[in-house]
Chain A
């Protein structure tokens, strides 16, 4: 039997709400808090960000960690990399842990590229000698040789990112933690990252990979775990776990958005329902590309005064969590919306000939009035676009050949 390189035993992490939500306290708040507790014996609300996690990871494994937003994925990686302590349980690590959630950590804009490589390397736990040995390799990988003695503030953001990744990629830890790093940078850079990750996993090192990009998880990981509300609810072959995750997302979409707790904004005006309608006005679950689709948003004014100058935005993300489209009442409507006292109104966004390639997408809902956020709900709704008759031929571009379908004609 092999020895696990990472042995996690009954790991739990508790947050007290108040320390996580309010970013910091002032003495006044503390005194006020004591007073309150004295008077009302009020119980502070505690949540388990991680609960009873048992996991063994073996050397050379590439483990995918998937789950919805707030499932505890990032907290999990933070506990493993010793940034924040667990409340209960134990982790035994048999190798150096480094994480790509640290890309560019400690970069200083006033220092040159060369100086930043040394500084960043030292922060990530490399010895000065090690950095010296790998210096040329790092510069080579980053492709910023010409600017290596220029202060970082003159770099483009892409160059900074490349330099940061180059340092992180040369850490050579036994255990590498990666959190959504592929969501940043251009396509070419993402390819480079994926390539490097493949190389790392083939050299027998262990990777823990957190991502919303199911395609990347399927490609890189043999085994995955599914986290939900801080617990591991499934552990096994990636295909099965991804299936389960997608199913979970579908179920989540059925949940009434009124009950969602993870919303931001003042809440005077709230989204209370969302529905997809086909051309006949019937509710549908999936969309066929080329169809006429209407997104119907129901909003309710909870106040007994009218709300004027209401703006409603709709963001659409692809499965890589990239924003691919943004719709707003402000773009189309000549006058702004108004909600009367206690009024409930349905706003229809009509999209003729739906132009998205097949895949899964998430909707983010946002509304504001007079500059203050009223309601903001990330990933309020997931929907799947299925192959449909967008083009007269009934054919569609092959997979991974673009997100959008364009209308065009060809003449000879």
Chain B
């Protein structure tokens, strides 16, 4: 009987020792699993890795900053080019389409009509061509350094936004001139609202189509030739030089709305005209934009791991 407390104590000590050992084992496990900065495994599931994208946010800025800087280096007129291009195009359109051909502008002053269309169109076309070719032009970096590849097409679109902002600035002056000198009145508040939505839709589309083209371009270089052709084609099916209201057949208008830029430009011009926006048309454009965006990102993420082997 006397041995009992001993044995109990013994058991407790033994258990304590056991506990100590397991604690130490746990400690080892903790030690080996902590400090893991990253694990490299074969690519498996689809993940956006937004956290990583955020970690590299500065690179965004640097790529865009570099593109903008390089674009206007050693040019006489510099940033003025971003303004001159739409202004000259606008003048030509006024001269040929509005004055000579008397094409409808939905009652909007031709200058505003064409410039507003060109604003978004230039953003979109520069965005998809930049982004579409971006993976090829960055092949050297892709083969040598790791960073989330999505940054490259993203910053290409961002670069296009810079030119847009410059051109938008001029648009404000045109609007002010028409508002005060020519007594062209429009709802200023709704203009900004529509501008915001039209711009968002354009960027979403440019980014979606751009990433899709970029990932396809890495694998199939045919897209290098397809992209300029595609941009030219899209220009004609986007209501830049004509209002969508000239398309009499409703079904054809809805077909054109599959191009999200149709909806975006409609929104951009909505506050200047009495012609209301067709909600079905807008709905088609927005849905198409979201689908293109998702498809672009999905295909890009699915193939990005192998870019270094293909580029």
By a beta-carbon cutoff of 8 Å, the part of chain A in contact with chain B is: 3, 15, 19-20, 24-28, 30, 78-96, 101-102, 105-106, 108, 110-111, 115, 118-119, 122-125, 127-128, 151
List residues of chain B with CB within 8 A of the CB of A82: 38, 40, 146
Tell me how far the C-beta of A50 lies from the nearest C-beta in chain B, rounded to whole angstroms.
12
Selected A-B contacts with CB under 8 Å, 11 pairs: A19-B310, A24-B218, A25-B219, A26-B222, A83-B146, A93-B39, A94-B35, A105-B141, A111-B70, A125-B147, A128-B58
CB-based contact A83/B62 at 8 Å: no
Q: B223's closest neighbor in chain A, by CB? A: A27
Task: Given contacts A26-B220, A111-B69, A151-B73, list 12 more A-B pairs with CB under 8 A.
Answer: A25-B220, A26-B222, A27-B220, A78-B308, A83-B146, A84-B305, A85-B43, A101-B144, A105-B140, A111-B66, A118-B62, A124-B145
Is B183 in the interface zone, CB < 8 Å from A?
no
List residues of chain A with CB within 8 A of the CB of B37: 93-96
Q: B55's closest neighbor in chain A, by CB? A: A125
Is B249 in the interface zone, CB < 8 Å from A?
no
Tell me how far the C-beta of A105 lies from the nearest C-beta in chain B, rounded to whole angstroms.
5
Is B45 in the interface zone, CB < 8 Å from A?
no
Tell me how far the C-beta of A287 lies from the nearest C-beta in chain B, rounded to whole angstroms.
39
Q: A86-B41, A115-B69, A122-B62 are in contact. Are A106 and B221 (CB under 8 A)?
A: no
Tell me how far the C-beta of A58 lies from the nearest C-beta in chain B, rounded to whole angstroms.
13
CB-based contact B308/A88 at 8 Å: no
CB-based contact B40/A91 at 8 Å: yes
CA distance A201 to B144 in the complex (A): 23
CB-based contact B145/A19 at 8 Å: no
Q: A26-B222, A102-B144, A105-B141 are in contact. Are A90 and B62 (CB under 8 A)?
A: no
Q: A174's closest neighbor in chain B, by CB? A: B37
Tell me how far the C-beta of B140 lies from the nearest C-beta in chain A, rounded to whole angstroms.
7
CB-based contact A27/B145 at 8 Å: no
CA distance A85 to B87 in the complex (A): 48
List residues of chain A with CB within 8 A of the CB of B58: 122, 127-128
CA distance A191 to B250 in the complex (A): 75
State which residues 3-61 of B face A: CB under 8 Å: 31-32, 35-43, 56, 58-59
Q: A81-B146, A95-B37, A96-B37 are in contact. Are A119 and B62 (CB under 8 A)?
A: yes
Tell me how far the C-beta of A103 lies from the nearest C-beta in chain B, rounded to whole angstroms.
9
CA distance A151 to B42 in the complex (A): 41
State which residues 278-311 of B face A: CB under 8 Å: 305-306, 308-310
